[in-house]
Amino acid sequence: MGIKPKIYDLANLIGCLGMEYPEGLNQGFSLSAISFLRQKEIYDLSSWNILFDFILASRFAWLSEWLRRKDLDMINLELDYMQILYNNRKILTSIWS
């Protein structure tokens, strides 16, 4: 599995939630989880600073899985989702902070 940053599990969770329901990136569970974890000071500032980057980076792992399987529907869905993330980076990082 390898060594991963502390924020990896949260990034994976939020990334998967957003894949299923992109609007969920800026409301409901994701905001509650981020708020709770910030309040409890579970992660340090350097971890919070890379949250978005890790969410987007984790999508490349999923994309590689779809490419290996030659699953064109999932490849296109993943690319669309990655574009949504990238295009909304400033908004999401602002909401999450």
List the domain boundaries for the chain.
8-96
Cα–Cα distances in Å, from 2 out to 5, 9, 11, 12, 58? 10, 13, 16, 15, 14
Single-letter amino acid code for the residue at 92: L
**Claim: this prediction has a pTM higher than 0.95:** no
Query: pLDDT-based confidence at 1, cuts 50/70/90?
Result: low
* Ranges of H-type helices in the chain: 8-20, 28-39, 45-49, 51-69, 72-87, 89-96
pLDDT category at 61 given cuts 50, 70, 90 is: very high
Candidate ranges 1-15, 21-35, 68-82; pick with highest mean pLDDT: 68-82
